Every structure is written in C-alpha cells, then in structure tokens.
Structure 1
Amino acid sequence: MNWAFTSENNLASTFATDINPFWQHSVTQGHFVGKDNITVRYSHCIPKSPRATIVICSGRIESYLKYKEFIYDLYQNGFAVFILDHRGQGLSDRMTSDPQHGYVAHFDDYVDDFVTFVETIVKPKHQGPLLLVCHSMGGAIGALTLLRMPKLFSKAVFASPMFGIKPSLPNWLANGLIRTGLAVNRMKKADSGYFFGQTPYIAFPFALNKLTHSKTRYALFRELYDEEQDIQLGGVTTEWLAAAHQAMNKIENSAGAITTPTLVLSADDDAIIDNKRQRLVAQRMPNATLEIVPRAYHELFTESDDIRERSLTRILDFLTES
C-alpha cells in the first residue's frame, strides 16, 4: 500500500495551511468523567467510509494536541482516530495540589479510564476493525488493557513500549528508593512529591534532547507546550514510579497471556526505555512480532522523516494486512 505522510520540509506551513484547519473542521473534542470524578479529555475524527478505527494510547506527559500531525496522517490515509489525555496530564484533570506532578495512584486507574473511553465513546461510533496503537507509557496501559480484555482490539501496535525504564536498577534497589521516597512524602504530609532528581517542567534545547532526531518536530513540540501551558508536566512522583514498577512487573509476568496479534517496534537508540527488558517481554507474547528500528530515538511518531515514514508504513501495513 502507498501511504502518504507529512514531511519535515515546510512542516510549520503545513500546520498553518492543512493540519490546523483540519483540526478545527474535522476533529471533535469532548470529555467524560473517569474514576474518582476525574475529568478525562479526548478527541476523535472520522473520515467518510473509514477502513478501520485506531485508538491511540499516548505516553507520559503527552496530550492529544501533541499528536495533531500523526492524527492528520492517519485520517488522510482513511482511518478514524480516537485518543484521550490520561488522567493527571494533558488537558485532563490533575489529582494532586501541584499540576506539574507526574502522578497516578495505580496504573489500573489509567486502564479503567481507557476501557470506559473505548466502551462508551469509541464503540458507539467506530467503523471497521478496532485497532490499538500505543506509545511509551501508553504501551504499558495498552498491555494491561489487553490482559484485562483480550478481545477488545483485533490488533495492537506498541511503539517504544514502557515494559522497562532506564536507569534499569535491580529490583531491591528500585524498591528501596521508592519506599524511601514514599516515607519522605508521608513525613512531609504531602499528597505526593517528585522522585529523587525529578523537577517541574523543563524545556530542554534540541541538542540535549533524546526523543527525536527531527529538529523541526522537536521545535513544534516545544512551541505547543509554551503556548498551551496547561499541558506542561514535570517529572515523575514517587507514587507514579511505584505504580509503574508494579505495572511493569505484572506485564512481564503475564506477557504470555497477551494473545492479541501485536507489532512491537523497539527504537534501537532509546534513552528512556530499558530495551533489554522490553524485548524480553515482547518475545514472551505469543502473537507478537518484534522489530528493531535502527538509529531511532524514543519518539517514533515524531522522528525524522526517514525513520518516521519507515515506522508508520510498517504500522499501517501490519494493521491492514489480513
């Protein structure tokens, strides 16, 4: 199949002439109330006679606003797209007194929201096969969703999934640091607090970024977060890290039960994810194909054109092959 994708060349003008007008005219934004009365924001777009419906499960700190280019590309290639902002980030409600905290009590809360979204918002509108596309933390949420509801999606894609994170500490050390951090928060009588070394939002210059090789896409990402300051998020809290460790251990121990046909794309130069553990988990999934993307940093959907086009072509070929 010949898929068409936007290019880094003149991407700022493509946003002005094509992507932003598409967003205004073709994308619907809404919200629902998730667990514990947290308002969860979402958006969706449906072309005429879509070939399938893709539900995106995004990564940590992300908002669906960051996915405008990717959503535009999927729509132009004939896919209906649904995406939510996870609780505690993006345009969704925060759960602690500091809106910059990367916080969640349990990853099951993310899964509860995601299942509610699919059952009540996506399913009444979806056309064609229901497909899951995950990035980073969204890969952990997606894997937990597939463990809970194995028949929910007909296929799944995990791009740089968070099945392990760097630095990959031994369990005893990670657990000891987490316990210490939680004890510090209790002593301070704080609802949560940053894990050691974590800070509020910092806009790193392109030269220090380990997310993408694309200077253009990185600049657009930082401009968006400067303009839409509500979506800014800082580092992780000790509570988030404790919940993430629990989730990743569950995924590793239960990977054999994830039976949905799955494509796992592992970014070979990922500085965020522990690829060794990630690939081990992928190899335990009975119906998963693991593919390593050479030279790629963490964010395959906003990488430089050569890496991004190769990744997106592989994803759409996999999702549409019978």
Structure 2
Amino acid sequence: MSDDDPTAAPAGVPAELGATYRPAERYGFLQASSARLRYACWNVPGTASGKVKGTVVLLGGRAEFIEKYATEVVGELLGRGYCVYALDWRGQGLSDRLLADRGKGHIDNFSTYMADLQLFLDKVVAPTAPRPILALCHSMGAHIMMRVLAENGPGPISAGVLCSPMTALKREAMLRSVLMLMPELPAIDERYLFGTGPFVVFAREFGSNIVTHDERRYRFTDKWFAADPRLALGGPTLGWGRQAARSMTAAVAPGYLERIELPLVLISAGEDALIDSHSHSAVVARLKHGDHVTVAGAKHEVMMETDALRGLFWEAFDRLAKGVLGQ
C-alpha cells in the first residue's frame, strides 16, 4: 500500500531555514481512496537502537504541511531520541488536492481524513516505527486523531499530546448559521468560505496575525511556499466548513470521548482566536486518562510560538513522555 518515492521530497529548501531544517530519511506516497497521501519518516541520527526512545507521529492542522514542522520541531524530537513519522492530509502539502483549483482547502467528509489516518497508521507506522509510539497533533490533526482513537481504538499509539485541538470554533455559531442557509451542492460547497480566499503572501501582515507572537516562525510558511509552490494552499471551502461543523458535533456525542482508552494531554493556547479553548476542559473531563495544560499568552500555534511559550509546551510533552512512557 505504501511506496517510497524521492519525488515526495520538497523541490527546494529556503536557504535561511537550512540550519534547523531536517530532511527526512524516507519520503513516500501512500495510495488511499481516490488520493495519494504523502508521508515522511526520520530516524534518530547516528544511533544503534539503544538511543531510540520511541516514535512520534506528527500531524499538522488545516493548511499545514510536513516541512513547516521539519524546520524545527522534528529536529527537537530527534534530539530527544524519537523517530518521527509525519503525514500531509489529503488536499494539502504534497498529497493530492481534491479540486482543480489547488488553492482551495476542501474535503468531502471528515471520515475521509479519518480513513486516511488509519491507513497511514496501519501501513506505514505500525510495521516499522520503534515503540512506544506517541501522537503529537495540532488543531485539525488533533481533532482527527481524537476521533480515530474513539472509533477505532488506540492501535499502535501509546499516548498523545493534542495542541489546540479543534473541538469548537470561536465563531462557530456564525458558521453554522450561514451553513444552514446554503444549499449543499458542489457549486456552493466548492466556493471559498466567506472571509477567505487564495494564498497571497502580501496579505500576510504579521501584526494582524492570530496564530503566533513569533514573526520568524510565522514566516516559515511563506518561505516554504516560495521554495516549493506546490505546497501553497489558501483558505478552506464552504464544504470544508460544513464538514468540520458536522465532525465537531460527532466528536462530542454522548459516550463518544469516553471510548478513548489511552492517556492524552490537551494543550490549550491562552490567546487562541480560532479555537474556543474553553471547550477543552469539558473534553478532558470526559476522557478516561486526560490532562489539561493551558499555555497562557500563546496564540493558536503553540509549537510555532516564542521560545518562552514553546518551552512550556515542551515541558508538557516531556512530562507525558516521562510519566506515561517511563522515559
């Protein structure tokens, strides 16, 4: 089902990011239903197996891509002794896009994302990843992982850290009101969601951004899109918004979260303007083995924040690794 393929590597690397960027040892495509999914795998450098503590499955959020995390986060995980396995969601990164307009972030149903993740875990991660395996997921990726754990069980995953998980949106009531008025037709659902559009680098003013206080890390996206334009992605479609709303409803259905057996740490961003982080405490309360950490002062992308705020994230990650995995 998986096929290693060097063409899944990025076409170029921004020179100014080269010092911390870690290219993967293995890139490949995984054939899923109606789409090829791109993945990357890193081994702990210069090791015999004795230095390997385990593996981290790294999953980004909507519009993100493997290289954004390979710029710093992957190196920090490798330095801690973890192999890393990462996936581009269908419709973004170098995975197949769903619409002729590559700039539109679209999905037919979040169950498709869930099936893609399960396939990745079954066919790429489980056969080769050193144990134990820890999930590290952001935003939409955290939401999808949580749903897969609830519906399919833990599989090869031993524990997880979910950063800014998409459990509720700040402007969700407005989104749902608009969706109720819009007929569910391809011609409608394939339009950009109101207030969004194609990626325009000149429109990305740091001062008005809502994801990080750190301008250098904010520019990771711009620099990678310039180095390999195939990575570029604009806003979500109305159909993506419709399916996201339905998936968030499904994720909080009675008895749903209670199915998750493994330990999870939910990390909330104290200044999140995208996700309603007030919903996280209720989610954690329903988990059998849940912990809740709030990084006060952080915007949505905690792993792309300032050094001080990222330090609080890494403390939470290291605490889970030590406490749950015995390391």
TM over 0.5: yes
Residues in 2 aligned to 1:79 and 1:258: alpha-carbon distance in whole angstroms = 24
1:231 corresponds in structure 2 to 231
Of 8, 26, 29, which residue of structure 2 is paired with 1:28? Answer: 26
Cα deviation, 1:203-256, whole Å, max 9, x if unaligned, reads 311111111111221123321222222111111111111111111111112222
Q: Is the 8 A contact 1:96 1:191 kept in 2?
A: no
- The reply on whether 1:16 has 2:23 as its aligned counterpart is no
Of 141, 147, 154, which residue of structure 1 is paired with 2:158? Answer: 154
Cα deviation, 1:33-72, whole Å, max 9, x if unaligned, reads 1112x01101011113210111012100000011111011
Residues in 2 aligned to 1:63 and 1:55: alpha-carbon distance in whole angstroms = 14
Residues in 1 aligned to 2:215 and 2:177: alpha-carbon distance in whole angstroms = 39
Residues in 2 aligned to 1:13 and 1:194: alpha-carbon distance in whole angstroms = 33
Counterpart mapping for 1:1-322 below 5 A? 15-17=17-19, 19-20=20-21, 22-23=22-23, 26-36=24-34, 38-47=35-44, 48=47, 49=49, 50-68=52-70, 69-152=72-155, 153-169=157-173, 174-183=175-184, 185-186=185-186, 189=187, 192-203=190-201, 204-253=204-253, 254-321=256-323, 322=326
Residues in 2 aligned to 1:298 and 1:256: alpha-carbon distance in whole angstroms = 26
Partner-residue secondary structure (3-state), 2:294: strand
Q: What runs of 5+ residues in structure 2 fail to find an aligned partner?
A: 1-13
Q: Quickly say closer, same or farther: Cα 1:14–1:305, change in 2 above 3 A.
A: farther
Partner-residue secondary structure (3-state), 1:89: coil
Residues in 2 aligned to 1:268 and 1:233: alpha-carbon distance in whole angstroms = 27
Tell me how large the CA RMSD over aligned residues is.
1.9
Residues in 2 aligned to 1:312 and 1:249: alpha-carbon distance in whole angstroms = 30
* C-alpha deviation, 1:80, in angstroms: 0.6
Q: Quickly say closer, same or farther: Cα 1:15–1:100, change in 2 above 3 A.
A: closer
Residues in 1 aligned to 2:108 and 2:228: alpha-carbon distance in whole angstroms = 25
Paired amino acid for 2:274: I
Paired amino acid for 2:38: R
Residues in 1 aligned to 2:280 and 2:249: alpha-carbon distance in whole angstroms = 11
Q: Is the 8 A contact 2:57 2:136 kept in 1?
A: yes
Residues in 2 aligned to 1:111 and 1:190: alpha-carbon distance in whole angstroms = 24
Q: Is the 8 A contact 1:225 1:232 kept in 2?
A: yes
Q: Quickly say closer, same or farther: Cα 1:54–1:133, change in 2 above 3 A.
A: same
Residues in 2 aligned to 1:310 and 1:33: alpha-carbon distance in whole angstroms = 37
Residues in 2 aligned to 1:31 and 1:51: alpha-carbon distance in whole angstroms = 26
Paired amino acid for 2:39: Y
Q: Is the 8 A contact 1:54 1:130 kept in 2?
A: yes
Runs of 4+ deviating beyond 4 Å: none
* C-alpha deviation, 1:174, in angstroms: 4.0
* C-alpha deviation, 1:308, in angstroms: 0.5
* C-alpha deviation, 1:112, in angstroms: 0.7
Q: Is the 8 A contact 1:97 1:191 kept in 2?
A: no
2:5 corresponds in structure 1 to none
Q: What runs of 5+ residues in structure 1 fail to find an aligned partner?
A: 1-11
Partner-residue secondary structure (3-state), 1:123: helix
